[in-house]
Amino acid sequence: MIQLRNSACGMKRELILTDQPIDESAFLRQRTMSANMGAAVYFLGAVRNQEQGTTISAIEYEAFEKMVAHQFGLLFAEIERRWPVESVRLTHRLGVVKVNEVSLVVEVIAPHRAEAFAACQWLIDEMKRVIPIWKKALAT
């Protein structure tokens, strides 16, 4: 499990890789927003019961954790450069995640919804392009 937090200056960043179920309520409760922030965008990714046309029961996620942490650091730095985002928090499950369980939660906080949506969409798109996490479908 990896937990990285950085809020000493600039954009607040939090990355958690965990083999434990994601507590969505706790994730929401931990939100902190400054008075001049008006938008918090959330994304939850859940495991579907279909993978490439086959019915599955779970997905097993594997990560090159050290590189995941570094590459997310680069993505967070790019978000800070491109948008006026106050905070990004992301938790990704590793190991076996059953169908319907949440594998990913992301929170992006910004002054307005446009930049919050844009930064969140960009982060997830880039994650799927460069973050070294792989999945293996487990049959029913």
Q: Which residues contact other proteins by CB under 8 A? A: 45, 61-64, 66-67, 69-71, 92, 103-104, 124, 127-136
Q: What is the smallest separation between the CB atom of 4 and other proteins, expressed in angstroms?
A: 13
The residue (of 39 and 68) whose beta carbon lies closer to other proteins is 68
Angstrom distance (rounded) from CA 45 to CA 104: 5
The residue (of 116 and 127) whose beta carbon lies closer to other proteins is 127
Q: What is the smallest separation between the CB atom of 17 and other proteins, expressed in angstroms?
A: 10
Q: What is the smallest separation between the CB atom of 62 and other proteins, expressed in angstroms?
A: 6
